[in-house]
Amino acid sequence: MILARVIGNVIATQKEKGLVGSKIMLVQPVGLEGEQQGSSFLALDALDAGVGDLVVVVQEGWSASTAATSVEGRAIDAAIVAVVDTIDLD
């Protein structure tokens, strides 16, 4: 999984049936210091993560699909699976 910052969301009324009813958030991968790392992408959200939240995103389809929609076999390749409270590094 990777760390990412939720920076917005995407509205799409016309979408694959497996995505209906799920929020599609725009996330920006970040490093441990919060610095940008790579390009933003879309991830399904089932945790009601808010814009500005630091989150954990899974980018493997099967887990993303089951995590975001509790149904496997949906056309999803990224999902928010946790909202980060703290990170402690030694």
* Residues at the contact surface with other proteins, assessed by CB under 8 A: 5-19, 24, 26, 28, 30, 33-36, 39-44, 51-52, 61-62, 64-65, 73-78
CB of 23 to other proteins, least distance (A): 12
Helix, coil or strand: residue 37: coil
Nearest Cα residue to 79 out of 32, 29, 42, 52? 42
Shortest CB 34 distance to other proteins, Å: 5
Minimum CB–partner distance for residue 39 and other proteins (Å): 4
Reduce the DSSP state of residue 88 to 3 states and report it: coil
Which residue is listed with tokens 């980018």? 59
